[in-house]
Amino acid sequence: DVTNMHYRSCLKNVYTSDDGESHLWSTPDGFVFYENGDKCYLIAYRGTSTDIILPTDCNGKNYELYYYSMSDVNFVDGYLYIPSSVTKIYSRAFYYNDTLLVVEGGESVTQIDGEAFAYCTELLSFTFGAGLTGINKIGTTAFKECTRLYDVINHSSVALTKGEFVAYYAIEVVSDATVTESNIHFTDDGFIFYLYGDMCYLIGYVGDGDDAIKGQLTLPTHFGGMGYSVYSKAIREKNG
């Protein structure tokens, strides 16, 4: 029922038999776009790759990440780079995606709507790009329940403060345009570290070794030659 307001809020166009060709098309690797004139929206991913790389553009145009477009995508390695062709992230684009760990790039994103990343409970690191020019460009619930967003990299002109708003859970807000990569690091055996300057924290574990399953996990002696602190709830997944 296209008269239903819930559905109409997500539809970009409605076609009857006389309306001509659809504006939907897919890339060879499974990204689904809606294109109409100079506007383009990524609306879904239907591919099978375990290495999710967003398209560099939409037929030469910039594009926006639409409602629920990435919410059911399985980011096997937990990583996503947002290319400079992406200009907006709609509400619930990544809603309840618990496979997303690190988001980099996004320098041309000018708007992140409310609930865009809501309930991405495993999200550890996010880069706020230079395209964000005001606090009103980030929805108040954009990162709702992202209680592990420890690494906030801020290239925007928005003043983000540790312990407030989207940086409420941040270990540190890094406002340095030269820092272009996440401060989150993964060891081969599944430990997750936050490393910035002289701060080094063990913040998580995603390994699946037999010792972990038996509750006999042995922590690393160091990370990169440095001592470290074990952060709150770092090993919660394995020891309950």
**Residue type, position 227, single letter:** G
pLDDT in tens, 77-134: 999 999 999 999 999 999 999 999 999 999 999 999 999 999 999 999 999 999 999 9
What is the pLDDT at residue 238?
A: 44
What is the pLDDT at residue 169?
A: 97
* Contact of 23 with 11, CB cutoff 8 Å: no
What is the pLDDT at residue 22?
A: 80
What is the pLDDT at residue 144?
A: 98
Residues 6+ away with beta carbon under 8 Å from 44: 31, 32, 68, 69
Average pLDDT over residues 167-179: 97
How far apart CA 72 and CA 50 sit, in angstroms, is 13
Task: Assign 6 a pLDDT band (cuts: 50, 70, 90).
Answer: very low
* Contact of 41 with 12, CB cutoff 8 Å: yes
Residues 6+ away with beta carbon under 8 Å from 105: 81, 82, 83, 84, 127, 129
Buried b (16+ CB within 10 A) or exposed e, 165-200: bbbebbbbbbbeeeeeebbbebeeeebbbbbbeeeb
Average pLDDT over residues 58-74: 97
How far apart CA 57 and CA 139 sit, in angstroms, is 25
* Average pLDDT taken over every residue of the chain: 90
Buried b (16+ CB within 10 A) or exposed e, 96-127: ebebbbbbbbbbbbbbbbebbbbbbebbbbbb
- The pTM of the full predicted model, rounded to 2 decimals, is 0.89
Q: What's the DSSP call for residue 218?
A: P
Average pLDDT over residues 15-28: 74
What is the pLDDT at residue 12?
A: 55
> Helices H, strands E: what count in the chain?
3, 15
